[in-house]
Amino acid sequence: MMAHYPLHHLLHNPSSFISLTLPQHSPRLQTLSLPKTLSCHLSSSHNNKCSSNSIISSLTKIHSKPLHFALSGALSLCLLFGGAQIAEAATKAGVNKPELLPKEFSTVIDVAGFLSDGQEKRLVQEIADLEKDTGFKLRVLAQNYPDTPGLAVKDFWQVDDSTVVFVADPTFGNILNFNVGATVDLDIPRSFWSRLAGKYGNIFYWREKGEDASIESAVMAISSCLREPVGANNCSEVK
């Protein structure tokens, strides 16, 4: 059983979104009226009310940096905790391209070309050390939908309850998207993933720093979090 947003949705077309809810850590912004194109829903799998492009367009027209940050975090939350209707619609538009998988096993698959060879090697080593030390499996897929192996990664990586699948895709607006295994979910507070996405995944961060910087920062933050002793305050900071 996988927790958080279903893996199949992260690997499919994010063409429909539910109404956005601002993060709980931004109380001053919770009552703001969102642009009309940001308040959208999916009434059925055949009735798409708005697209990721319209959301991103609206975000770029807002001139308040605090609001920029909050809305980008809200977009990530929407993807992480979206309704069953969205998942159902995504399933019908699935992508499964095993031919895009590497010939040899790798914990990092970069079909989008965001990472240099050196960066990819560093991430592979960090992930290997993390798995050896903790037993948790982190897997990274960098893609530009629809150019993605899609569901083929599930068998390729043998995704299970101890796996975190990190899909980096700028199509989503917020580049950081996660599918968290049930075992991991028991130890890591869900707020960590939304805070991580809000810090390193927002559209303004990766457009300025680059997609590679977002991916590297997120991997290091996840590694740090998963190494922390389980307790009331574990993963309370995104490092």
Is the overall model pTM greater than 0.85, yes or no? no
User: What integer is the mean pLDDT of 139-145?
Assistant: 95
pLDDT of residue 90: 35
Reported as a single tens digit per residue, the pLDDT across 60-90 is: 454 444 554 444 444 444 344 333 333 333 3
Residue 166 has pLDDT above 70, yes or no: yes
Q: Which residue has the higher pLDDT, 47 or 31?
A: 47
d(CA 179, CA 148): 16
Reported as a single tens digit per residue, the pLDDT across 176-218 is: 999 999 999 999 999 999 999 999 999 999 999 999 999 999 9
Q: Which fold has domain 1-239?
A: Diaminopimelate Epimerase; Chain A, domain 1 (3.10.310)
User: What integer is the mean pLDDT of 24-45?
Assistant: 33
Residue 53 has pLDDT above 60, yes or no: no
User: What integer is the mean pLDDT of 28-48?
Assistant: 33
Q: How confident is the model at residue 173 (pLDDT cuts 50, 70, 90)?
A: confident
Structural domain spans, the chain: 1-239
